[in-house]
Amino acid sequence: MPSSRIPGGWIVAPWFDLLFLANLAWVVLLIPGLVDSGRSGPIDFIQIYFLTTPHRWITLFLVALDPDRRSGRGRFFLGLAVIVTVAVLTLRLSTNAFLCLVLIDFVWNAWHFGSQHAGVARIYGRKAGAAPSTLEKQGMRFLVVYAILRIPEWSAGGLPEAWRAWLPLADSLALTVPALILTRTLLRPNEATWGRLAYLTSVCLLYSAMILTQTLGRSTTMNALFLAAALFHAIEYLAIVTHYARGRAERGTACLFQRMARHWTVVLLLYLTLWGMADWMLHHHFFEWAAGLNLGAAFLHYTYDGMIWKLRRPETARSLGV
């Protein structure tokens, strides 16, 4: 459906966007006692095995099964997969540890979180008829990356004492970014659709809360917010893929993915359930192999995402209804 026909600038529908894109339910995790700061609970279990891991692997399956996402670059995508596989195996065999890969994953994942939020914000911007905004795009990335990269210092320390003294000022400056993003949007009422406002407000509040909580040193609240960010990211991505699949069911190149898209709700639920169970079993019996496979999938997920969802490509914009 063309964006101009969707009242309020929603990507799919108000209920869908609020639940699965703006993810307003993240605030529920702040209820005292719901998230335990000392151990993993059932919500963490669901997040890791049934949302975060499957949302990474689904990108690989999408590239493999949908020629429209490859756009004639199949060999290039395959080459990237080979390079990542060889790199992960080489490091595993030469050092017998994934510490270096875990560090790379943490930093790259922070950038990926920020880029995804900026991308979804741009979809809402297009729905609202807003021109591209450097403040919104780069500001969103900065806010998310800063909030996530701040976590190691909060949890384990490590910064020299002289640098740590500047953290309150750095936090204060970082918090001006979401304020500027929201203020700019509100000052342009013709572009401030309900969908866009809901999304920007939710993202800005979540990552602002992460920064404030680290400043105040509240570990239980921080664990809840970090879990909320992980859930937000994975659910949001699966929602975008679902939105794409709904349109792909009747448009584009005939292929296996198009047939799957016609029954997407069932396909997605089966995939999340079966892949989550398989990953849980693999982690319990072959932990290092599972870690290596998932790190490789994560790196390909980050790389492929930056290639298959570029809105400046007309066919991608059309496939997402913008």
Q: What does 105-118 look like in DSSP terms, one character per residue?
A: HHHHHHHHHHHHHH
**Angle, helices 99-127/287-308, rounded to nearest 10 degrees:** 30
Task: Tell me the C-alpha distance between 56 and 297, whole Å.
Answer: 6
At residue 31, the 3 state secondary structure works out as coil
Residue 279 has which token pair?
């990953």
Task: Tell me the C-alpha distance between 103 and 144, whole Å.
Answer: 17
DSSP E strand boundaries for 160-315: none
pTM for this prediction: 0.92
Q: Which residues lie closer than 8 Å to 266 by C-beta, 6 or more apart?
A: none
Residue 139 has which token pair?
């500001």
**pLDDT attached to residue 257:** 95
Task: Tell me the C-alpha distance between 180 and 136, whole Å.
Answer: 9
Q: How many domains does the chain have?
A: 1
**pLDDT attached to residue 40:** 64
Task: Tell me the C-alpha distance between 231 and 198, whole Å.
Answer: 17
Task: Tell me the C-alpha distance between 38 and 48, whole Å.
Answer: 17
Helices within 97-255 (DSSP H only): 99-127, 134-149, 151-156, 161-164, 167-186, 194-216, 219-248
Which residue has 């914009």 as its token pair? 317
- Decide if 11 contacts 127 (C-beta within 8 A): yes
Task: Tell me the C-alpha distance between 105 and 100, whole Å.
Answer: 9
**pLDDT attached to residue 37:** 62
- For the chain, residues with pLDDT lower than 50 are 1-5
Determine the Cα angle at 84 with ends 86 and 123, to 5°. 170
Residue 277 has which token pair?
């169970």
Residue 248 has which token pair?
């792909």
In tens, the pLDDT along 259-311 reads 999 999 999 999 999 999 999 999 888 887 888 899 999 999 999 999 999 88
**pLDDT attached to residue 151:** 86
> Which residues constitute the domain of residue 176?
3-319
Task: Tell me the C-alpha distance between 138 and 67, whole Å.
Answer: 31
Residue 240 has which token pair?
């975008």
**pLDDT attached to residue 81:** 95
At residue 188, the 3 state secondary structure works out as coil
**Angle, helices 194-216/134-149, rounded to nearest 10 degrees:** 30
